[in-house]
Structure 1
Amino acid sequence: STGSLIKKYREKLEVSLLNKDASILVLKIRDYNVGKGVDFLNKLTEVFQFDNLLKKNENANRTIQFISSQLQNISDSLSISETRMESFQSEHQLLDISIQSQQLLEQMKELDKERVALETQNKYYHYLRDYIQKGTGQETETVIAPSAMGIQDPLLNSLILQLNELITEKSGQTSIRQSSQHPTIVRLNAQTESVKRSLRENVENIISQSDMALDNLNKRIRGFEAQVRRLPATERNFVNIERKYKLNNETYTFLLQKLSEAQIAKASNVSDSQVIEEAQIAGTGPVEPKKMIIYVAALLIGLAFPVGIIFLKDFFNTKVNSQEDIENITNIPIIGHVFLNQNEFSSHTLVLDKPNSPASEPFRAIRTKLNLITKGKRNPIIAITSTFPKEGKSYNAVNIASAIALANKSVVLLDLDLRNSALANQFALNSDIGLVNYIIGEATPDEIVFQTKHPRLHLIPAGPIPPNPAEMLTSDKLLKLIEILKEKYDVVILDTPPVAYVADMYQLRDLIDANTFIVRHKFTHKQA
């Protein structure tokens, strides 16, 4: 709509002073269409100047209208008096009049001329008084200047000028309702009323003086008219006719002169403002959008997005991702970090198959730390456990045992994970005999011990899966077997069930000298 379009451009338009001491206004507008923005500013300044000139011409138009109405009246009187004089001269064959009559006519002519000027001014004073008395009805109309009527009163001219300036300023407040109580409107109304009061007092005094001057002038004219009445009848009638003709002629000429002056004044009116420079594009290119800010914002968003995703993933992640996560949970010492690369080496017996590879070094470091932990204990029993299955418990048990065997110590690896046994498969054993067979009395200790790839490393597999694994691990025969193994081997490694999966290991805690807990990166839960 038109209203929304006006509001849009009003919000986009910026008006400011060139500097605080200058009277130059700088107009700016931001628009996606450069040509439209330039055309808008040029048209805005054009309309502003036209509106300013229109307001200045309103006063001149009222002056011209006032004089034209007076001319219309006097024109009819002049035409009638001219016709009467020509008829009188033709009828009485009168070509000239006496010297006395000429003198009277000239004197009365000057007095009539003076009376015409006074009457014209008197009409203007009454117009001015009527304007003031009408009050709010004409608050938006400027007043005809006294100089247009040949009045050169400095005080009156000054008051009229102040009143016109206040009226023009008030009518220029287009963004404020004229009847509102806005501070600007209230101030202008107060100043206007003050000037009108001074003007009213001045005009009343001038009207009184003007009326007195007219009365005095009329008395002098009546004196000359008495002299005219003493002239011969024909000559007297001619003098009266000629006098009236000359009076109308002088009045018509005077009004024509003032009309020409008013029209010239109107034609010479120019706007109070001047366009110093036409609208043009500021700078060398678009001011918006600012590419650098967009690039920086895009870069920051591009960085913030993945950082935010990483942060959210880390915030909602419940898995162990670093050594720091473990240290925040427990004070138990961390004895090593093991790396598994199944693409490079898929066998579970890494230390035995590649004892000199870099991947075997972490197990040697763990072996050293376990020696320090079990220092002073004869033939220690070391348990390897974890939270849940598939965390690398059996893999680490095999390779820790292998690392100890490479140190010329006899080691036996006992598979106590009766529910999910994996050691027999990792060592590729073909026998089904194991710990379960011993506990139920179907095999002797020597029958369940198997040789591995290394002569100092022996293995006792779990055997068949029993229906009651928890009860199996509390059997006295198991305790007796562990005592036998402790006397026979330098180190006993127990591959125990996961602690969060089953509670089987808790029954053997008094026999264990060192417990190694396996934590798998991005797999083990922090809360476990």
Structure 2
Amino acid sequence: MNHEEHSQPISNSGSFITERDLSSFALSHERIHPQGDEDEIHLSELWHILVRRKWTIFVFFLVVTIIGMTASFLMTPIYRSGVTLLIDPEGQNITDYHDVLPTESAASRDDFYQTQYGLLKSYSLTKRVFQELELADHPLFAKKEPSFIGKLKGFIKNLGKAEDADEEEDEDLAIEKLITEFQEGFTIAPVKNSRLVGVYYDSPDPKLSTQVVSALSQAFINTNLERRYEASAYARDFLKDRLLQIKARLEEAEEKLVEYGNSHEIIDVGENQSQAANELQKITLSLALARESRARTEATYQQMLKTSDKGLSRILQDPMIRDLQESLAKIENEYAENLNIYKPDYPKMVQLRKQADKLKEQIQESVQDIKSAITADREEAIVLEQTLEEKSQEIKAEIKDLARRNIQYQVLKREADTSRQLYEGLLQRYKEVGVSGGIGSNNISVVDPPKIPIDPYKPKITLNTLLAMFLGLFGGLGLAFLFEHLDDTLKRSEDIEKTLGLHTLGIIPLISTKELPDEQSPALINVLDKRSALAEAYRSLRTALQFATSTGAPKKLQITSTSQGEGKSTSAVSLAIQFAQAGQKTLIIDGDLRNPSLHRIFEMDNSVGLTNYLAGNASPAEISQGTIVPNLFMISSGPLPPDPAELLGSAKMISLLSIAQEKFDHIIIDSPPVLGLADALIIGNLVEATLFVVAAGQTRKAFAQGALKRLKAGKSKVIGGILDKFDSKYHGYGYSYDYSGYHYSYGTDEAYDYLSSDHHKPEEIK
């Protein structure tokens, strides 16, 4: 039988496990465990993270709390004394005169108070209080002897300088440092929505704190009064100088104004301009009326020229012409009627014609008179308009000439008026300053005088302790989540499915070594207590393998892991025991020829084993051993060879598996770890399927991915994973092994005697 014939896994029924089986299994896995909502955060998951990292949180919380309390008790007690001041925007006006300092409007009130707060914290005010209280001699501010390093720095700095000058400079610098240190103890706290401000000073000496705030408030009031008085004195001197200058300028301007008016014969410029302007206004109004009349006569004249006599409106409306035309019409009507009776030469007819001709001549004369009147009106309107236009131009020229002559006069007059107003204003202000300058008005007063504090202001031990506890708690939580984020191990079945893409066939609970008698292997709990959580987990794994493929559980199965210590040997033995307890004849082979462990689990001899068959002349019957479990047989590793990979890939290994396949229902090989070794890849090509064991909280994701990638590159059929050493309290949520009435016990004493006795003799391979 060649290697290719055994490279395809064979099931219990003799059929192959195909890629289609694995694909259908993967599809069912996707239906059972959808990949959606990968980023969803479960509250229970956060809770289990806190449970897992509870000692980290507790230790960090305890350390921070202890440090906070210790630091609070070691701090020097600081006492705070304070004074409340009332600062009004303006001082009281004892006189009716305005103060020299500018009054504050509502818009600039905020700036005013910010200025006052800045003055309270100013270096000059602090220095004044420091010197008044002679704090340079106070024990808190006494000059301290510099350290050796300080002396060395001072010596290097003062090289090449005069000794006396250095001493004075150092003393001045030391005083400035003391004043700066003294200034840091002040706190200015304005009372919101009021004119009150609290001034506080913190010091280890309660009496000193009271003295300082009292001196500061009094110094601030005195400084304010001094500043007002100095401003008044400065204003008086300044106004006096300005008055002398303005007075001289006023006298000079008045002299120039009088001289210019006399030389140009200007009596009153304003009156002359008013008369000319009134006359111009009258002429302009008459000119407008004349232009209107001229336009009207012009229109009549043009109409006369364009139309016949009968079409002129003035002719048509004339009553005399209208009477003559009516008489003419009557005669013409009479003539027309008599023409039917008499001939034109009849005397009566001749008389009528003469009367008609006479009326026509009269009408024509009247029309000519009207035309002459229209022409005369037009010429008269034109002459009037020209006359008024000439008069208007004369008045305008007169006004312009007057304005031109009076420009310099007005300039001199305005300068004299301005100088006079300025002089009168400054003179009035000078008198006000002289009266108000000596009055000590004050806008600052003390509301609450300072008191000697009894209790220290800080440290606040209770508050500091609470803050330390708060920081310790939240810092511990943050540290726990940081450690959890940095922890890249696989912890839950979801991690195996998302990271490795494997279906989790079994979740094996963590068993404490204290629960094992005489430090026995956890795998033997499957024999000692079939109702234990461990036995139930492996029984569930066996059932899952039955449904892992369409042909049932693989007949030849390899169990491996990423690295040592992940529980692959325990899983191999436990799974083999479950198959054997189910009545199926099972063979377990220790394929880890570098670090074998099956003989230690079953406490059996390892002098003859797999290597004796692969490298020697031992027969399969000689290397197989029965175990305490019915239907379970074992082939131990035997002596360790120098090259295990060469032996595992030999034809004799293929032959051994072929022989065992005919005798046993299941063959389970405990394979070496994947990383760093080729043994698992070789065995993976000899079996039907591979189970990948992952230790919860121990196997790192990158290593597991690398191991799985090597298995798939070696054409191993990995059908699923086993999550071993799983503790639901620490590694996940939603899993519980709380079987009512079932405990991690090991049965009766008879069960233990049965495990250690030799009365059960397993059947050998014939």
Q: Assess same fold via TM > 0.5.
A: yes
Residue 580 (structure 2) aligned to one of 405, 412, 415: 405
- State the Cα deviation string for residues 101-145 of structure 1 (Å, max 9, x = none): xxxxxxxxxxxxxxxxxxxxxxxxxxxxxxxxxxxxxxx9xxxxx
Could you tell me the TM-score, scaled by structure 2's length?
0.39
Report what 1:39 is aligned to.
Answer: 211
Residue 593 (structure 2) aligned to one of 414, 418, 426: 418
Residue 528 (structure 2) aligned to one of 331, 353, 358: 353
Is the alpha carbon distance of 1:8 and 1:512 closer, same or farther for their aligned partners in structure 2, counting shifts above 3 Å?
Answer: same
Q: CA RMSD of the aligned region, Å?
A: 3.8
Is 1:513 matched with 2:694?
no
SS in 1 for 2:202: coil
- State the Cα deviation string for residues 280-335 of structure 1 (Å, max 9, x = none): 25999665556676345312321244334434544544544444543443111112
Report what 2:659 is aligned to.
Answer: 484
Distance of 1:418 and 1:364 partners within structure 2: 28
Report what 1:436 is aligned to.
Answer: 611
Is the alpha carbon distance of 1:168 and 1:424 closer, same or farther for their aligned partners in structure 2, counting shifts above 3 Å?
Answer: same
Q: How far off is 1:429 after superposition?
A: 1.9
SS in 1 for 2:506: coil
Q: Could you tell me the percent identity over the aligned residues?
A: 28
Could you tell me the TM-score, scaled by structure 1's length?
0.55
- State the Cα deviation string for residues 250-304 of structure 1 (Å, max 9, x = none): xxxxxxxxxxxxxxx9xx9877467544522599966555667634531232124
Distance of 1:420 and 1:318 partners within structure 2: 27
- 1:191-230 aligned within 5 A: 193-194=238-239, 196-198=241-243
- State the Cα deviation string for residues 71-115 of structure 1 (Å, max 9, x = none): xxxxxxxxxxxxxxxxxxxxxxxxxxxxxxxxxxxxxxxxxxxxx
Report what 1:124 is aligned to.
Answer: none
Is the alpha carbon distance of 1:517 and 1:169 closer, same or farther for their aligned partners in structure 2, counting shifts above 3 Å?
Answer: same
Q: How far off is 1:360 after superposition?
A: 1.5
Contact 1:414 1:493 in 2 (8 A): yes
Report what 2:469 is aligned to.
Answer: 299
Distance of 1:344 and 1:7 partners within structure 2: 70
SS in 1 for 2:603: coil
Contact 1:321 1:522 in 2 (8 A): yes
- 1:116-515 aligned within 5 A: 168-169=230-231, 193-194=238-239, 196-198=241-243, 272=442, 275-277=445-447, 279-281=449-451, 288=458, 294-317=464-487, 319-338=489-508, 339-345=510-516, 346-348=519-521, 349-376=524-551, 380-430=555-605, 432-515=607-690
Which residue identity is paired with 1:3? Answer: E
- State the Cα deviation string for residues 433-483 of structure 1 (Å, max 9, x = none): 222222234222222221111221111112222233212112222212212
Is the alpha carbon distance of 1:323 and 1:296 closer, same or farther for their aligned partners in structure 2, counting shifts above 3 Å?
Answer: farther
Distance of 2:190 and 2:638 partners within structure 1: 98
Contact 2:588 2:667 in 1 (8 A): yes
- State the Cα deviation string for residues 142-199 of structure 1 (Å, max 9, x = none): xxxxxxxxxxxxxxxxxxxxxxx6x62378xxxxxxxxxxxxxxxx87x964564137
Q: How far off is 1:52 after superposition?
A: 7.1
SS in 2 for 1:280: coil
Contact 1:427 1:452 in 2 (8 A): yes
Is the alpha carbon distance of 1:192 and 1:459 closer, same or farther for their aligned partners in structure 2, counting shifts above 3 Å?
Answer: farther
Q: Which one is further off, 340-349 or 195-204? A: 195-204
Is the alpha carbon distance of 1:415 and 1:46 closer, same or farther for their aligned partners in structure 2, counting shifts above 3 Å?
Answer: closer
Is the alpha carbon distance of 1:457 and 1:286 closer, same or farther for their aligned partners in structure 2, counting shifts above 3 Å?
Answer: same
Distance of 2:527 and 2:687 partners within structure 1: 25
Contact 1:451 1:459 in 2 (8 A): yes
Is the alpha carbon distance of 1:197 and 1:316 closer, same or farther for their aligned partners in structure 2, counting shifts above 3 Å?
Answer: same
Distance of 1:446 and 1:8 partners within structure 2: 94
Structure 1, gaps ≥5 residues long: 56-139, 141-164, 172-187, 206-264
Which residue identity is paired with 1:503? Answer: A
Distance of 1:357 and 1:414 partners within structure 2: 25
Distance of 1:289 and 1:456 partners within structure 2: 76
Q: How far off is 1:397 after superposition?
A: 0.7
Distance of 1:493 and 1:471 partners within structure 2: 20
Is the alpha carbon distance of 1:478 and 1:46 closer, same or farther for their aligned partners in structure 2, counting shifts above 3 Å?
Answer: closer
Contact 1:374 1:514 in 2 (8 A): no
Distance of 2:507 and 2:626 partners within structure 1: 28
Contact 1:50 1:271 in 2 (8 A): no
Contact 2:206 2:454 in 1 (8 A): no
Is the alpha carbon distance of 1:429 and 1:47 closer, same or farther for their aligned partners in structure 2, counting shifts above 3 Å?
Answer: closer
Distance of 1:16 and 1:195 partners within structure 2: 43
Contact 1:486 1:492 in 2 (8 A): yes
Distance of 2:192 and 2:659 partners within structure 1: 103
Distance of 2:562 and 2:550 partners within structure 1: 27
Q: How far off is 1:14 after superposition?
A: 5.5
Structure 2, gaps ≥5 residues long: 1-173, 251-434, 704-766
Distance of 2:190 and 2:511 partners within structure 1: 75
Distance of 1:329 and 1:287 partners within structure 2: 57
Report what 2:266 is aligned to.
Answer: none
Distance of 1:192 and 1:324 partners within structure 2: 91
Distance of 1:169 and 1:16 partners within structure 2: 29
Distance of 1:408 and 1:34 partners within structure 2: 90
Q: How far off is 1:379 after superposition?
A: 6.2
Distance of 1:340 and 1:19 partners within structure 2: 66
- State the Cα deviation string for residues 378-410 of structure 1 (Å, max 9, x = none): 861111111222322211111110011111111
Distance of 1:5 and 1:388 partners within structure 2: 67
Contact 1:387 1:501 in 2 (8 A): no
SS in 1 for 2:242: helix
Which residue identity is paired with 2:243? Answer: S
Which residue identity is paired with 2:242? Answer: R
Contact 1:452 1:458 in 2 (8 A): yes
